[in-house]
Amino acid sequence: MKTGFASPQGMADLVTKEQLIQSALNAISPSVPTIHYPFYLNFGRELWAAGKRGISGPALADVGHGLKTKYLSYGLLGATLDAVAAVFSLTGL
């Protein structure tokens, strides 16, 4: 378990991605309400988990599109979800 958490693909990678997501959210204008941060972070976590399971390329983009649809139904903003997806090099969702 220690090896999995410390590996570059483990929790250290998730922490880095979450910090990048938070930076992206902080840079958006008008500002994202703080109460919405957990939802955007969860979107990023689901993208990260899909990548960790070995999903990549066009398949990851398809997963991202499905997740974006899910989070749009929660009332989140598409442009902000796109900013989070960009952390994972996903564009055009």
The residue ranking higher by pLDDT, 91 or 77, is: 77
Closest CA to 69 of 38, 36, 43: 43
d(CA 92, CA 62): 11
The radius of gyration computed from the CA coordinates of the chain, to the nearest angstrom, equals: 13
**Site of tokens 């008008």:** 30
For 39-64, write each residue's pLDDT tens digit.
999 999 999 988 888 888 899 899 99
d(CA 74, CA 51): 23
To the nearest whole number, what is the mean pLDDT of the chain?
86
SS3 48: helix
Predicted confidence (pLDDT) at residue 66 exceeds the cutoff of 70? yes
Q: Terminus-to-terminus CA distance in the chain, angstroms? A: 34
